Amino acid sequence: MKANISVLVLTATLITAMMSGCVTIPYKPYARDVKKKAQQGGVVALKVEHRDEDRAKAQEMMARTCTPYPVKVQEEGEVVVGQETKTKGNTSYNQGAEGEKVGSLFGMPLVSGQKDPSQSVESASSTVQLKEWQIMYECEKNTRKASR
């Protein structure tokens, strides 16, 4: 009876440990300053396929740069920021083939159709553009916030 209880406790412990490994990790918003000048404006970059959390972080960053002035987005869109080239290669080896014995001459075998060992190389490459979503903004100094 005690052995059965021990097995049940061990099984329950293992199941609990495995299930606790399935906890989801919260999403960490992504936004980065490309350039900024305090109280003047700048550019913030997001991933091309950004989420609402990313946009909120960008808004927060822009507001921090422009404090105490409001933020005005001048332009935003997809921008090419580089490229990436991937290359694949494959080398094939042919060990060759022995020739066929067709006779002999003065006791030495005559062989025909022998194929020498060889190798062939194939390669392919592809280049893709690396893109990000950029937001260009300025701080509106002529419409000061009523926070004084």
**Please, are residues 36 and 60 in contact by the beta-carbon 8 Å criterion?**
no
Closest Cα partner for 41 from 64, 20, 22? 64
What Cα–Cα distance (Å) separates residue 18 from each residue in 9, 13, 23, 27? 14, 9, 10, 22
Rounded Cα–Cα distance for residues 1 and 7 (Å) = 10
Residue range 73-100, pLDDT digits in tens: 999 999 999 999 999 998 888 776 676 7
pLDDT at 142: 77
H/E run at residue 60: helix 52-66
pLDDT at 147: 47
Token pair of 1 as six digits: 């009876």
Q: In this structure, what is the dihedral angle of CA atoms 31, 33, 39, 41, given to the nearest 10 degrees? A: -90
**Of 6-15, 77-86, 102-111, 124-133, which gets the smallest average pLDDT?**
6-15
Place of tokens 């001459």: 105
Residue range 32-60, pLDDT digits in tens: 989 989 899 999 999 999 999 999 999 99
Using CB atoms within 10 Å of the CB of residue 52, give its burial: 0 to 12 exposed, 13 to 18 middle, 19+ buried: exposed
